[in-house]
Chains A and B, each alone.
Chain A
């Protein structure tokens, strides 16, 4: 098969061994630097595009998850974590060292569109410059910032001045003629429809959007830096709750738990995995309910009943989470090797409460279908607006409901199983419409799938023998993973692929902690959806992306 014909373009479904990949890349590989999750090939900084396009075109690695950049004592390094949308367990890392004194590396943007923002972030925080990048500017920090905060020689005490520049219309000159003119409009950072502190630099031609550029970073809280200053065992786990703070806490905690457990080789007891699975799906319902609520707000206006109805349902699941974790938003419930405590006593009461919620849920979903999805005006507004074709979605590294709304059948719970998901009976939801409506439908149907999962977990937990309820594995007080081990692990968060890259250096704290935020990649697709549409469609498209700025900016 592809062994004999390595140059032909195949469908990418074929799994190649690391050695076959090395043979495919030939001279491009200068060294091997394997990670725990994937083989790693070290290449020269001027062959990034060539290497990535071979891997993309000929080996089927069509998903650039994330670009992790870091600085070593003797070099800079960018790692391109590649996967396949068809089978995300097939991974490969492309490691690109750059010169310590003059860190320049070729940009991957012409091969993977998603590299645009990821490389801008690497430039902003680490200081690596990317050749051939279309628009290498700072992305999280203000343009006037001095130094790169995650680089080694960064001076923390240096005073920083952030100016308030007048935003200029980028299209002013070449869009002006006798009949028409463009208008520059700042949407946000304080605007009812930006769902947080997002700034959209929008250029309008009448009511139509000619150009929209998301400007992010207003909620940047140095989450990566904070994780790098905490110890693996206990000090990092509270932070993930604060990335996607819209009640998706347990999903985020699982991202860290999965990466760190694989890094430190911790086996989680099955009982704890079932509890985790149940809790995570409760979080997904809560997160999707809020997405639905705010989307209704964007489409219907701010007095819509749908908003409060969805918030009510979210409240019910939030109460269950409170019973389970003792907290409503910042759960901090997972521990490396399990969860912090068992189900609340009396267990029967918790089970019956959960079942009541699950029983009532189909009725609520039906009501939302009556209220919004079957409403003709709503359909008029959302069908065929904010269109994101599947190829574009993949190119931008879009994941989660955004990708699945474009027919990209990609869900890490099924494709790269973790927890207890592969033992349960549920389906991955996809819609083919590629528009705002499809993305909403995906979320609404996923709520039902999550309910199915929770129901099965409750049944399992109810019948679990009392003497086998082991909620935590034996984990050493201090974790010191081996020096120079690297791992990238992802879970299916509420918004998509939430991944963590960790490099251990033999101490009890990570040397590099990189968060792959699904919202970050998803938000990057906004101009593709919005350009040429009307202002209300931009608002609708943004709402259908369901971003949380806490996760975008980290």
Chain B
């Protein structure tokens, strides 16, 4: 195992400000959660109205927003005002309150996932809210609540396109959640723990040294096959090309989102981005050594940001370049391909780890 993890963020707050008793712990947890949530919201705020446009534009030979502010950055507040100021249209016959809960559930579930993600350190601050023993299982559980939200939205919208989108979301999640988690289990076998700090810690050792460079034992290097499998399943999990089937605007007109406008739309939009970032965070925790990287431990938050945004960039690249598969083809890839491969990977890993250990 690597170095002992630094103090968790709420504990740090309790110690620093001397907050007393249970009440102090609650306050410290809330403050910590608010800080982490705001970081994620800031990511999404930059990604949604600005970075996504700029990235897509770069892929498609365009310029995108550049009129307001430097590099068009002021589009972020402008878009926020514009989106929130729009009228919320509530279609006839929607199933309330299900219709209202769904857009809250999606960003909330993704946000919850970040409670167990170690986001690295800024100076003495360790941005890690909680480190339960079953952390990895917990984060997958949180992430998959998202599909419940999609089904709720699709079903409650009283729109056939939304219904199709909701049904597709379920089919897709069933087909990909299992390979995703089975592949993650192969990593757990290596690390010998479900605790996220343990999984990250196991990746800090040096795998090989090439020309003076220490290549860390990130599981992406230890088991590249599992990494590719996980990455593919992750793309399906977050519903991006080639697996943006539940939305598929050119087929089913954005699916479950069709009937949402104004603040509810913002929540869905936000939820999707938080979900992509959570996908990137899980990927970096499980395969890319968490927040670790060259340089002192105290700036490791930067590495976390780089990894998560790298994944975001990857999803946008896929969006610009890869065609969308058909729903039946996706189910086939999921159940007949990925599932088999992921179990093969799991068994092989178990055998190898068993022989070596």
Q: CB-defined interface of B241-283 with A at 8 Å, one 1/0 digit per residue?
A: 1101000111111000000000000000000000000000000
Residues in chain B near residue A377, CB distance under 8 A: 242, 322-325
Q: Is B336 part of the contact surface with A, judged by Cβ < 8 Å?
A: no
- Docked complex Cα distance between A206 and B241 (Å): 23
Q: Which of A294-302, A324-332, A439-447, A465-473 lies at the interface?
A: A294-302
Asked whether, in the complex, the Cβ of B251 is within 8 Å of the Cβ of A300, the reply is no
Q: Would you mind naming 26 contact pairs between A and B with Cβ atoms under 8 Å apart? A: A183-B160, A192-B250, A192-B253, A193-B251, A207-B327, A299-B323, A301-B241, A301-B249, A301-B250, A301-B323, A301-B324, A303-B320, A304-B323, A305-B60, A308-B60, A308-B62, A309-B60, A375-B323, A377-B324, A380-B329, A381-B323, A534-B328, A535-B252, A536-B324, A536-B326, A539-B251
B328 touching A207 by the CB < 8 A rule? yes
Q: Are B251 and A536 in contact (CB under 8 A)?
A: yes
- CB < 8 Å: which of A192, A312, A378 contacts B323? A378
Report the count of interface residues on B (CB-CB < 8 A): 30
> Across the interface, which residues of B come within 8 angstroms of A381, CB to CB?
323-326, 329
Q: CB of A264 within 8 A of chain B? A: no
Residue of A nearest to B322 (CB): A377
Helix, strand, loop or mixed for chain A's interface?
Answer: helix
A298 to B250, CA, bound (A): 6
Q: Is the CB of B60 within 8 A of A207?
A: no
Q: Are A297 and B250 in contact (CB under 8 A)?
A: yes
Q: CB within 8 Å of B: which of A496-554?
A: 534-537, 539
Q: How far is the CA of A305 from the CA of B250 in the complex (A)?
A: 15
Interface residues on A, range: 20 to 34
Query: Contact between A309 and B250 (Cβ–Cβ < 8 Å)?
Result: no
Q: Chain B residues near A297: list those with CB within 8 A.
A: 250
Contact B61 A534, beta carbon cutoff 8 Å: no
**Complex contacts, B59 vs chain A, CB 8 Å:** 305
Task: Give every chain A residue within 8 A of B251 (Cβ-Cβ).
Answer: 193, 535-536, 539
> How far apart are the CA atoms of A505 and B313 in the complex, in Å?
67
A539 with B242: CB separation less than 8 A: no
Most buried by B among A299, A301, A371: A301
Query: A232 near B: Cβ within 8 Å?
Result: no
CA distance A151 to B253 in the complex (A): 41
What is the CB-to-nearest-CB distance from B57 to chain A, in angstroms, rounded to a whole number? 9
Cβ proximity bits B297-326 to A, threshold 8 Å, 1 near / 0 not: 000000000000000000010011111111
Asked if residues A302 and B328 are in contact (CB atoms below 8 Å), the reply is no
CB distance from B344 to the nearest CB of A (A): 22
Per-residue CB contact flags for chain A residues 380-393 toward chain B (1 = under 8 Å, else 0) read 11000000000000
Within 8 A of A (CB), among B44-84: 56, 59-62
Instruction: Say yes or no: is A221 at the interface (Cβ < 8 Å to chain B).
Output: no
Given A191, A307, A312, A536, which contacts B327 in the complex, CB threshold below 8 Å? A536
Closest A residue to B163 using CB positions: A183
Which B residues are in CB contact (< 8 Å) with A375? 322-323
Determine if A302 and B250 form an interchain contact, defined as CB atoms under 8 angstroms apart.
yes
Whether B241 lies near A536 (C-beta < 8 A) is no
Q: Given A302-B249, A305-B60: A535 and B329 within 8 A (CB)? A: no
Q: Is A185 an interface residue (CB 8 A)?
A: yes
Any chain B CB within 8 A of the CB of A361?
A: no
Q: Which of A148-189 contact B (CB under 8 A)?
A: 183, 185
- In the complex, how many angstroms separate the beta carbon of B259 from the nearest chain A beta carbon? 14
* Residue A372 lies at the interface, judged by CB distance under 8 Å to chain B: yes
CA distance A300 to B240 in the complex (A): 11
Q: Give Cα A378–Cα B62 distance, bound, in whole angstroms.
A: 24
The interface residues of chain A lying within 8 Å CB-to-CB of B168 are 207
Find out whether the CB atom of A300 lies under 8 angstroms from the CB atom of B324. Answer: yes
If A185-B160, A301-B241, A377-B323 touch, whether A539 touches B60 (CB-CB below 8 Å) is no
Closest chain B residue, CB of each to CB of A194: B250
